[in-house]
Amino acid sequence: MVLKIENLVKVYKDIRALDGLDLEVKKSQIYGFLGPNGAGKSTTILSVLGLIFPQEGRIELFGEEVFRNGKYDESKLVEAKRRIGYMPEHATLWNFLTPMQTLDIIGEAFGIPKPEREKQARELLELLNLWEVRDKKVGKFSKGMQQRLLLAQALMNDPELLILDEPMTGLDPTGIAEFKEIIREQKKAGKTVFFSSHILAHVEEICDTVGVIVKGKLRVEDKLDNIKREFLKRAGYTIVLETNRPVDFSGVEWKVTSLGEKKYRIVAPGDIREAVHDFVAAQGAKILTMQVKEPSLEEIFLKMVE
Ligand SMILES: Nc1ncnc2c1ncn2[C@@H]1O[C@H](COP(=O)(O)OP(=O)(O)OP(=O)(O)O)[C@@H](O)[C@H]1O
């Protein structure tokens, strides 16, 4: 086990940000830590890194207990953090430096000798498509380039565990696809990746396991497909349908609203696309257009809390 959290509690004044959180990340996993805004994702990450003080619980990193009942084991934590790369949610870069200079400073802070850190910086900048702009000032970089440089910083110490707090927020679809590919590459290189997001699409296609945190507690931990199947059913689909002639929906269990002579809105608990198709066909009508709206992640989270 790379990371194990048991019954973690963090109270900020009167806010119980973590309310007995349990979580396990295994070696070589890509773990997506999903939750709505304010669920406790950043608080969890800051606790794992010893940057804030939780009140109760246990944290293990690489099999070593680094925190127990309100106290960190400083030497074990320092040791573990050498093996971790961290990309904060609101990180800032030094705008007046170039990527090469930025990574050099980080490498020096880790105590990596000059020739080695130059080699490491070059490899990372090549990997992250920043080699061509290695001598350009970071201040002019796009959001996507800045995120990639922040990831390069997190990789400078060749960590076994990468912890990324909302790494894809603010990226465009191309940037998100690129970032996912980079995360996949990290897994191939044997690393474990733990990253947070409040957007379902960010964890899609890449995560082995997704943990969903709501109000400081882990609600579910499973493969994303299983989570979606379970909660999409409950949260309800909306289908907007246009047919070539009127259809009589009386007698169905779905909630149907007429939006005009041949246009309907159907709300149903699960994915009923096939059933709707068959129902319409049975009346000799044809579907001209069908728009399906999956429930938003917020709606799914709300169902989880119920
Ligand atoms: N320093 C702080 N002082 C007081 N309350 C805080 C502090 N940091 C976080 N909180 C509160 O703790 C709760 C959890 O916050 P946290 O930032 O961990 O959530 P999050 O899941 O990371 O959300 P986001 O996606 O918005 O970053 C929220 O209610 C937040 O307002």
Q: What is the pLDDT of residue 302?
A: 67
**Which ligand 1 atom is the nearest neighbour of the CA of 42?**
22
pLDDT band at residue 235, thresholds of 50, 70 and 90? low
Nearest of 229, 210, 268 to residue 33 by alpha carbon: 210
Instruction: Give per-residue pLDDT as tens, 83-127.
Output: 999 999 887 889 999 999 999 999 999 899 999 999 999 999 999
Q: What is the residue with the minimal CA distance to atom 18 of ligand 1? A: 40
For residue 234, how far is its CA from the centre of ligand 1 (angstroms)? 28
- Residue whose CA lies nearest to ligand 1 atom number 12: 17
Question: Ligand 1 centroid vs 33 CA: distance in angstroms?
Answer: 15
Residue 28: per-residue pLDDT:
93
pLDDT score at 298: 64
pLDDT at residue 293 tops 90: no
For residues 298 and 171, the model is more confident at 171
Mean pLDDT, the chain, whole residue set: 90
- What was the pLDDT predicted at 61? 98
Q: Whose CA is nearest to atom 25 of ligand 1?
A: 37
Rounded to an integer, the average pLDDT of 13-40 is 93
Kindly report the protein residue whose alpha carbon is nearest to atom 2 of ligand 1: 12
Task: Write out pLDDT tens, residues 28-64.
Answer: 999 999 988 889 999 999 999 999 999 999 999 999 9
Residue-level pLDDT at 281: 95
For a ligand 1 pocket test, name from 5, 9, 13, 41 the mutation site with the most ligand atoms within 8 angstroms of its C-beta: 41
Q: What are the structural domains, with CATH classification, of the chain?
A: 3-222 (3.40.50.300), 232-305 (3.30.70.1560)
Q: What is the pLDDT of residue 91?
A: 79
The pLDDT-based confidence of 306 (bands split at 50, 70, 90) is: low
Residue 68 has pLDDT above 70, yes or no: yes
Annotate the chain with DSSP letters as a single string.
Answer: --EEEEEEEEEETTEEEEEEEEEEE-TT-EEEEE--TTSSHHHHHHHHTTSS--SEEEEEETTEEEEETTEE-HHHHHHHHTTEEEE-TT----TTS-HHHHHHHHHHHTT--HHHHHHHHHHHHHHTT-GGGTTS-GGG--HHHHHHHHHHHHHTT--SEEEESSTTTT--HHHHHHHHHHHHHHHHTT-EEEEEES-HHHHTTT-SEEEEEETTEEEEEE-HHHHHHHHHHHH-EEEEEEESS----TT-SSEEEEEETTEEEEEESS--HHHHHHHHHHTT--EEEEEEEPPPHHHHHHHHH-
